Amino acid sequence: MARLAKDVMTPHPACCHPDATLESVAKLMVEHDCGEIPVVDAQGRPVGVITDRDIVCRIVAGAGNPTGRRVDSVMTQNVVTVQQDTAIEDVIGSMERHRIRRIPVVDEHGCCVGIIAQADLASTRPASETAEFVREVSKGAYAGAPQLAARLNHRIRTLTLPFQKFGFIVGTRAALGVGIGVLLSNRFPAERRKWLGTGLVALGAAATIPAAYWVSRGVNRAA
């Protein structure tokens, strides 16, 4: 007897509403150990899905602030679903065509009653067919990975540059402060303070050149 979607789905999946916040969705993902949350209306019918990748690619990589953002500003709309009585072969075919790793399952009223992930289908197919299925679903899924990595790298450099500058400034001022304190101290003879002062001036000049170089290099990288 052919297996159906309801035989392999995870029943009663965690869902959220379009007006939920990204913070609450992220907590749901952690609590239920999942990477996708179906977004449903007041009747429980799917109107979209939101994944961990949606949050990263559409908010974090775009230098956006996820705090206070609503799910409907990030979610993937036009959600693809299958019926409870859909054959496993048709479920796999739908996931391959749309290149999705998870698919919500709905009942006869269109309400979300389950979700199927790649792992749920692994036990239903031979190893060779499972590998082919994973390859088909994964095609083009990370086509924008180089651009995403570049945006994230730029974001990180932009955020860390002020701290690099701050570190150079604090370090230089601390060294000068200690040096001035020593020079003003009466514990050292005048001749020794003279030589110490000359050494500090030389040290400060030597430290300024690499500091300026690394700061300018950070500015160029962040640009």
The per-residue pLDDT for range 16-45, each reduced to its tens digit, is 999 999 999 999 999 999 999 999 999 999
pTM, full prediction:
0.58
| pLDDT tens per residue across span 160-188 | 555 455 555 555 555 555 555 555 555 55
Write the single-letter amino acid at 106: V
CA-wise closest residue to 86 among 9, 201, 175, 181 = 9
Give the pLDDT band of residue 53 (cuts 50, 70, 90): confident
Q: Is residue 143's pLDDT more than 50?
A: no
Cα separation, 158 vs 167, in Å, equals 15
- Helical pair 88-98 and 127-138, crossing angle rounded to 10 deg: 30
Q: Which CATH superfamily is domain 5-143 in?
A: CBS-domain (3.10.580.10)
